[in-house]
Structure 1
Amino acid sequence: MEISTSPQPTDPAPPVEGGPATKGAAGRTWKLKTLAVGGAAVVLLGAGTWFGTTLPDPTASDAYVQLAQGKAGVDEALSNSRDAYRKLDGEYATLQSQIKGREDAVSGRESAVGAAEKKVGEAEAAVKKREDAVTGAEKAKAKNTIDEGTWAVGRDIAPGTYVSAAAVGSDCYWAILAGGSNGSDIIENDIPGGGRPSVTLSAGQDFKSSSCGTWTKQ
Structure 2
Amino acid sequence: MSDLNALEQSPSAVPSKRWSKKKTAALIVGAVLVAGSFAGGLFIGIDSVDPRESAEYQSLTDSNEVLQGERDDVQSELDDLEGGIATRESAVEERTTQLDERSTGLDEREEELGSQDKEITAREKAVGKIEVEQAENSVENGVWTVGTDIKAGTYRTKEPVGSDCYWAVLKTGTNGSDIVNNGIPGGGRPTVSVKKGQDFESTRCGTWVKQ
- 2 CA distance for matches of 1:118 and 1:76? 63
Task: Answer yes or no: is 1:200 the counterpart of 2:200.
Answer: no
Structure 2: runs of 5+ lacking an equivalent: 1-20, 184-190
CA RMSD, 1 decimal: 4.3
> 1:144 Cα deviation (Å)?
1.6
TM-score, reference length from structure 1: 0.59
The residue that corresponds to 2:15 in the other structure is: none
Q: 2:93 aligns with which of 100, 120, 143?
A: 100
Q: How does 1:34-53 map to 2 (within 5 A)?
A: 36=28, 42-53=33-44
* Residues 60 and 216 of structure 1, relative CA distance in 2, 3 Å threshold: closer
Kept after mapping to 1: 8 A contact 2:144/2:200:
yes
> 1:165 Cα deviation (Å)?
2.5
Q: 2:131 aligns with which of 119, 131, 138?
A: 138
The residue that corresponds to 1:5 in the other structure is: none
**CA shift digits 1:77-135 (9 cap, x unpaired):** 11232233123212311221121112111211221122113212311321221122111
* Residues 80 and 175 of structure 1, relative CA distance in 2, 3 Å threshold: same
Q: 1:172 aligns with which of 167, 170, 175?
A: 167
Kept after mapping to 1: 8 A contact 2:156/2:210:
no
Kept after mapping to 2: 8 A contact 1:152/1:207:
yes
Q: 2:151 aligns with which of 156, 160, 170?
A: 160
- 1 CA distance for matches of 2:81 and 2:165? 101
Kept after mapping to 1: 8 A contact 2:152/2:196:
yes
Percent of pairs identical after alignment? Answer: 24
TM-score, reference length from structure 2: 0.60
- 1 CA distance for matches of 2:32 and 2:144? 149
Structure 1: runs of 5+ lacking an equivalent: 1-27, 178-185
* Residues 46 and 150 of structure 1, relative CA distance in 2, 3 Å threshold: farther
* Residues 100 and 43 of structure 1, relative CA distance in 2, 3 Å threshold: farther
* Residues 193 and 176 of structure 1, relative CA distance in 2, 3 Å threshold: closer
Q: 1:76 aligns with which of 59, 65, 69?
A: 69
- 2 CA distance for matches of 1:210 and 1:122? 46
Q: 1:118 aligns with which of 111, 120, 139?
A: 111
Kept after mapping to 1: 8 A contact 2:165/2:203:
no
- 1 CA distance for matches of 2:95 and 2:147? 65
- 2 CA distance for matches of 1:34 and 1:111? 111
Partner AA of 1:165 in structure 2: R
